[in-house]
C-alpha cells in the first residue's frame, strides 16, 4: 500500500537552480495537489489537478509549474529556485468527489527543500 509517494524527501538547492519534486499515487485518484508549509504556518495550495491534462493555480502558484500527463503522477517544477521557496512541500490526492466517498485528502510524507 504505497499511497502517495514523494521524492526526494530532502533537497538543498542554490539560488537560480531548477528542480522537480515528484509525486505519484497508486489509488487511481482523479484529484492531485501540491501544498507548501512554512515554519509555524498552515498549508498553502500551490497548484492542483482534477484529472489528466487538467491543471489549475492555487493560492501561491508563482515560481512553480505543474503538469498532469498521467493519472498517477503530478510533478512540481521549480523554475529558478529562490530562498523564499525554502519550505516543506506536500502532495495530496483524492478520489473524485461524490456522495459515496468522504472527500478525504491523502497526503504524502513531504519533501523538505532548502534554497541557499
Partner 1 sequence: DAKTTQPPSMDCAEGRAANLPCNHSTISGNEYVYWYRQIHSQGPQYIIHGLKNNETNEMASLIITEDRKSSTLILPHATLRDTAVYYCIVRVANDYKLSFGAGTTVTVRA
Q: Which residues bind partner 1 (CB under 8 A)?
A: 4, 31, 33, 35, 37, 40-45, 48, 50, 58-59, 88, 90, 92, 94, 97, 102-110
Cell of 68: 498532469
Shortest Å distance, C-beta 88 to partner 1: 7
Cell of 9: 524527501
Q: What is the DSSP letter of 99?
A: T
Residue 72 or 95: the one with the smaller Cβ distance to partner 1 is: 95
Residue 33 or 85: the one with the smaller Cβ distance to partner 1 is: 33
Cell of 110: 513531504
- Where in 38-105 does DSSP place strands (E)? 43-51, 54-57, 64-66, 76-78, 87-94
Shortest Å distance, C-beta 14 to partner 1: 24
Shortest Å distance, C-beta 90 to partner 1: 5
Amino acid at each position: 500500500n504505497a499511497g502517495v509517494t514523494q521524492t526526494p524527501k530532502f533537497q538543498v538547492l542554490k539560488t537560480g537552480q531548477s528542480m522537480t519534486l515528484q509525486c505519484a499515487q497508486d489509488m487511481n485518484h482523479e484529484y492531485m495537489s501540491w501544498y507548501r508549509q512554512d515554519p509555524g504556518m498552515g498549508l498553502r495550495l500551490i497548484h492542483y489537478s482534477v484529472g489528466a491534462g487538467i491543471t489549475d493555480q492555487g493560492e501561491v502558484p508563482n515560481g512553480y509549474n505543474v503538469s498532469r500527463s498521467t493519472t498517477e503522477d503530478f510533478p512540481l517544477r521549480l523554475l529558478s529556485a529562490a530562498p523564499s521557496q525554502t519550505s516543506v512541500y506536500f502532495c495530496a490526492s483524492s478520489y473524485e468527489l461524490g456522495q459515496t466517498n468522504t472527500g478525504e485528502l491523502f497526503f504524502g510524507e513531504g519533501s523538505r527543500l532548502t534554497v541557499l
